[in-house]
Structure 1
Amino acid sequence: MRLKQQGFTLIELVIVIIVLAAIGIATSSYIATGIGIYTDISERDRELNSTRFVMERLRRDILNALPNSLIVSYSGQCLTYTPIIKSTLYDYDFPISPFSSSTAGIASIDDYSFEDGDKAVVYLLQADELTSNKVQPISEVDGETISFANAVSFPLGSPSKRLYIIRDSKSYYFNSSKELRLAEDCFSDGSLMANNIEGDFLVFEPTLQRNGLAKVTFMLDFDGQEVPIEQTLHVNNVP
């Protein structure tokens, strides 16, 4: 007795191939969608982490900025500030107008190493006074004595007898390449702080109730959608 041979017909094979192809397409589309979502989330998380780093760096820098030294320029694209190297208190013999002297007594400064170009600042009230006689170059700091290159006379004394030592100013700026950079001057070569970012700065003058403030608005670009993030920066010190 012959056994009847069993098998698939051509139509059945075609149907199976079509079903498997449909399942493969659906599966690959699902995997591709998941990979795209993961990649997008990872990219956004990377940009947000970069922005968080910049926000923390800005907070620390402006917190320790010289009071009333903040300047916004280039239509809000650049924020210039003067970092404080050290602060101390001056003695009764400090050269406040009408008195003048090339040396004076100060409270000792810990962990300070003098560098050429260091300057002493007393009672700065406006940023444009950085080029006035409220800022005087230092020639030496030895213990509790500060020396100037020539006899100097500061026009106004600080109510708290506070003296700040500064060096060069720094600038944060947004450029046309959607980068935030930190440099010696606005739009000069500097360190890249974040990319794929735009924004602007705004400075609020101090009042009797608070110190000076700066506000920065970051505009992040997520696939063509702009997301604003605002940060308020406080100047911790007073004249």
Structure 2
Amino acid sequence: MKKISLLSQRGFTLIEAIIVIMLTGILAVAAANFISRPITQYLDLSRRADLTEIANSAVRRMSRDIHLALPNSVRQPAPACVEFLMTTNGGRYRSATPGNFMQFDSTSGTQFDVIGPLSTAPQSGDFIVVYNLGIAGADAYEAGYRGIVDGAGTTVNSIKLSTPIQNPLESPAKRFFVLSGTSPAVTFVCQGVGVDANGNGTGRLYRLSNYAIAPATASCPTLAANTTTPLLAENVDSCSFTYSSGVVERSAVLSIRIGLKKAGESAKLYQDVNINNVP
């Protein structure tokens, strides 16, 4: 009768199985760390790129609008906001006969010719501003310094005013600017800036418009949490504007600083915007 060898039936011992499990676990942990680090780095890089793109997009939008600012209309009640009057068109007016010329001493509606046609005709209710210096008596934030367009009789070649410009200073270059009658003023404002416990910025950057122009302002506007005001950026952890007016009739500079933070990753952007203040 054939005997079966016990050695041929021998399997793994418990110790051997434990050693195999331990070695497999160590290899799995090493492999996980090897794989997770590039994934984590990719996610961090992607998050940082998203923050940079958001900040860059916001700065580009602000720069585009600020380049259209009425000369000498930029003002700052606080570092967290900046306000200006945005132009929609502009040209040169006729200052003497023959033809209809700008009359600064008129108390009734006036008609003046445009030297060189405008790209589009101003709409009824739009504002006409001449020689804004941003000082008392020559400030477009004051209602009397803005003429109001009468749509009837206004074309690209000639503009009729239903409300005349009161006591302005005549422009040496005979220039005038057109402001929207519905939303001439624009404010960029940062609100709730800070960082929460999870490393996320808590602030938001808004573009505020469609509000009544105030002759003076002492503080940045405060927006409700459920506001429908257009949002340019969120997760803002730092934000400031610095306006250097320079010399009247020369270029001014608005410095924009904005920082975004999300899940510990951050992106900061700084840009100077040149503003033509020649009225």
Q: Normalized against structure 1, the TM-score is what?
A: 0.87
* Aligned mates of 1:90, 1:144 — CA distance in 2: 10
Shift of 1:220: 2.6
Contact 2:51/2:266 (CA < 8 Å) preserved in 1? no
* Larger deviation, residues 131-140 vs 93-102: 93-102
Shift of 1:147: 0.9
Contact 1:96/1:153 (CA < 8 Å) preserved in 2? no
Residue 95 of structure 2 is matched in structure 1 by: 92
Unpaired stretches in structure 1, ≥5 consecutive residues = none
Contact 1:116/1:139 (CA < 8 Å) preserved in 2? yes
Contact 2:146/2:165 (CA < 8 Å) preserved in 1? no
* Aligned mates of 1:219, 1:203 — CA distance in 2: 18
Residue 118 of structure 1 is matched in structure 2 by: 126
Shift of 1:67: 0.7
Secondary structure class of the residue paired with 1:92: coil
Unpaired stretches in structure 2, ≥5 consecutive residues = 193-201, 212-220
Give the partner amino acid of 2:127: K
Residue 103 of structure 1 is matched in structure 2 by: 111
Deviation digits for residues 50-95 of structure 1 (CA, Å, limit 9, x no counterpart): 111111111111112111111112x211111111110111112343
Structure 1 residue 164 and structure 2 residue 177: aligned? Answer: yes
Residue 199 of structure 1 is matched in structure 2 by: 239
Percent identity over the alignment is 23
Secondary structure class of the residue paired with 2:110: strand
Cα pair distance change 1:138/1:191, threshold 3 Å: same
Secondary structure class of the residue paired with 2:31: helix
Residue 181 of structure 1 is matched in structure 2 by: 206
Shift of 1:178: 0.7
CA RMSD of aligned residues (A): 2.6
Shift of 1:134: 3.1
* Aligned mates of 2:256, 2:148 — CA distance in 1: 32
Residue of 41, 44, 47 corresponding to 2:45: 41
Contact 2:94/2:112 (CA < 8 Å) preserved in 1? yes
Q: Normalized against structure 2, the TM-score is what?
A: 0.75
Matched positions, count = 238
Secondary structure class of the residue paired with 1:142: coil
